[in-house]
Chains A and B, each alone.
Chain A
């Protein structure tokens, strides 16, 4: 079976959608030459300069131009090189794009995608490593996609482009080199459908993007000890497949939510609240979160690893929830 990388899946999905729909146009910094992460490689040669536009370093203009083009009926895909840079154009995203349809009584529509590299683990430091899905999750009116493998990167990005709403797609930069099965034919993965990556009975591990791999690694380790962990990949935070989380937790009675963003207000807190409010009677142990630390991300390898979640931290958290007597003493320092 043919293989492709998570990085190649980005260009693959973009090409699939550009070939399918001439309204799909790309803009962003260096996207014409393939981009800093080579995620748009070959697209300008194939589709021409009328479809692939290099912009100045102007994130407000990029996000705003995407909004205007969407209002005019195109399906723009904008690139924000590092998701940290959303902070420079958050007005366009949170105040304008997210609210345009609602605020105008449905007169404006925003069929647009903004892609950005996201997440840590590569030593890029505090301003180029953040996982910021939780920023977006505070704002009603935008969909949030965070693929965990190449096939999903392709299929979810394609679905985001076909979606009639604004979608932020987060490409985890530590996953770009990972390989998976190349999709065959027209590949689209519906937004809002969580995937069970491993079945299990004792505990539910809920992950997103890079933390899905940590959950799977943890589940393997735990299996050696006779613990059966189910791994659920949320894939999208909005729409959120809460039903999938609740169904799994009702069966296992335990849940560990693994998120890369700082725990002080991560998306995991929202998922934890849903579980606590709607599945409390089925819980056999307190809801547990493994989150990024509540500090900016440092660069030195040992320090960055200490702050980010890991398979070992997930294993430790699962052992805690399987041992009720130790639960209250096991919270992390961050």
Chain B
């Protein structure tokens, strides 16, 4: 039986994880603007509570799959921030060996089976992992993140249908950040809620959670994970949030009403968790401020260290297409 141990982590632990992810990405934003990041990067600033809340319900034997906006999905499972940053900055020792980049961060050692950049393309993959668990009865649960825009992709519907028909141990987590790239999701769906309102078509209960409340996410997902582990099938969860930045680091998101963005910053999940810690007496404001300063310093140091690292040998491009490390297609 794998994956039966749910992480015992209090709000303070959840907050620290969110904070690290926030400042990892904030640092990345700066590095991008300095022209140091290879290729695009899609930040999930404002969405950290979902990745962290979901990860906190998974055991080491459980699996998760994320999206091209997936730094948080990987880091929350325990992926090494230095190996991730090395990948993002095109340095030796990158988590995918320099072959994946921001959109394909993967850390199988931590149960994180990849970040996928074709919208919705990975949902059938997650279902396949859950199918394997049903066949092997290994007790593993697979969580799959995707955005609101994905609910208009055929692969989403095929995969959710199959998971429901086969009653597979998978938790679908829709991060509804209100925007399908540059377009408001409301403009491109005929229902109010992109995932929840589609759930009944597959015989599933609509489940909506405040995606900016890490404890709420944790509690709701924990129930879905239990249900999956019991053999009672999938859950399609919609976590409501807001993408505080643009679609990618290259997008200034000028198409949004500034008042809407200002209001969203007031619901910042990281600040919200800090406030909750002070309310409950688990931490003082001074303590959380000191923690913020420390985490920022750690990220600054990390960036310096990674920027000093060498770039990978170009010859590595010709290796690793096959699992034995070779790439030969003919003799």
Q: Is the CB of A50 within 8 A of B124?
A: no
Q: Are A69 and B107 in contact (CB under 8 A)?
A: no
Q: Which residues A242-276 have CB closer than 8 A to chain B?
A: 242-243, 274
How many angstroms between the C-alpha atoms of A109 and B136 in the bound complex? Answer: 18
Q: Which residue of A65, A140, A165 contacts B162 across the interface (Cβ within 8 Å)? A: A65
List A contacts of B142 (CB < 8 A): 68
A213 within 8 A of B: no
Q: Which of B135, B154, B329 contacts A25 (CB 8 A)?
A: B135
Q: A67-B124, A69-B131, A239-B328 are in contact. Are A106 and B323 (CB under 8 A)?
A: yes
In contact, B321 and A141 (Cβ under 8 angstroms): yes
Query: Do the beta carbons of A69 and B108 come within 8 Å of each other?
Result: no
CB closest chain-A residue, reference B325 = A106
| B122-162 with Cβ < 8 A to chain A | 122-133, 135-136, 140, 142, 154-155, 158-159, 161-162
B114, CB-defined interface residue at 8 Å? yes
Q: How far is the CA of A77 from the CA of B20 in the complex (A)?
A: 42
Residue of A58, A64, A92 contacting most chain B CB atoms (<10 Å):
A64
B184 at the interface (CB under 8 A from A): no
| Interface residue? B89 (CB, 8 A) | no
B-contact bits for A212-243, CB 8 A (1 contact / 0 none): 00000000000000000000000000111111
Contact, CB under 8 Å: A69 / B116: no
- Cβ 8 A contact of B128, one of A58, A64, A102, A104: A64
Contact between A108 and B108 (Cβ–Cβ < 8 Å)? yes
Question: In the bound complex, what is the Cα–Cα distance between A92 and B159 (angstroms)?
Answer: 12
Residue of B94, B128, B140, B325 touching A67 (CB-CB under 8 A) = B128
Interfacial chain B residues near A164, Cβ < 8 Å: 322-324
> What is the CB-to-nearest-CB distance from B172 to chain A, in angstroms, rounded to a whole number?
13
Interface residues of A in 95-126 (CB under 8 A from B): 95-96, 100-111
Is B60 engaged at the interface, CB distance under 8 Å to the other chain? no
Nearest Cβ on chain A to B209's Cβ, whole angstroms: 25
Whether B104 is near chain A, meaning CB under 8 Å from some CB there, is yes
Residue in B95, B133, B329 whose beta carbon sits within 8 Å of that of A240 in the complex: B329
| B95 in contact with A92 (CB, 8 Å) | no
- Contact (Cβ within 8 A) B113 A69: no
Report yes or no: B161 in contact with A71, Cβ–Cβ below 8 A: no
Q: Report Cα–Cα, A106/B320, bound state, in Å.
A: 6
The verdict on B118 contacting chain A, using a C-beta distance below 8 Å, is yes
Q: Which of B126, B132, B324 has the most C-beta atoms of chain A within 10 angstroms of its own C-beta?
A: B132
B165 CB-CB contact with A under 8 Å: yes
A103 surroundings in chain B (CB, below 8 A): 96, 99-100, 104, 106
Is the beta-carbon distance between B158 and A58 smaller than 8 angstroms? yes
Contacts of B124 in A (CB 8 A): 60-65, 67-68, 92
| Inter-subunit contact A91/B118 (CB<8 Å) | yes
- Nearest chain A residue, comparing its CB with the CB of B331: A243
- Asked if B108 and A101 sit within 8 Å, CB to CB, the answer is no
Best-buried of A68, A73, A103, A243 by chain B (most CB within 10 Å): A68
Point out the residues of chain B lying under 8 angstroms from A242, CB to CB.
330-331
> Who on chain A is nearest to B128 by CB?
A68
**B161 to A64, Cβ gap below 8 A?**
no
**What's the nearest-Cβ distance from chain A to residue B269, in Å?**
29
Smallest beta-carbon distance B94→chain A, Å: 7
In the complex where A61-B155, A165-B322 touch, is A72 in contact with B132 (Cβ < 8 A)?
yes
Alpha-carbon distance between A241 and B329 when the two chains are bound, in angstroms: 9
> Per a CB cutoff under 8 Å, which of A73, A76, A100, A274 touches B114?
A100
Cβ proximity bits A51-66 to B, threshold 8 Å, 1 near / 0 not? 0010110111111111
**B121 on interface, CB distance cutoff 8 Å:** yes
Report the 5 A-B pairs with minimum CB-CB distance, sorted nearest first: A64-B124, A68-B128, A105-B97, A65-B128, A72-B132
Please name 20 further chain A to chain B contacts, defined as beta carbons within 8 Å, in addition to the given A69-B131, A70-B128, A73-B132, sorted by A numbering. A53-B131, A60-B124, A61-B124, A61-B155, A62-B124, A64-B158, A65-B128, A65-B131, A65-B162, A67-B124, A67-B128, A72-B140, A91-B121, A102-B327, A104-B106, A104-B114, A105-B320, A106-B97, A111-B323, A239-B331
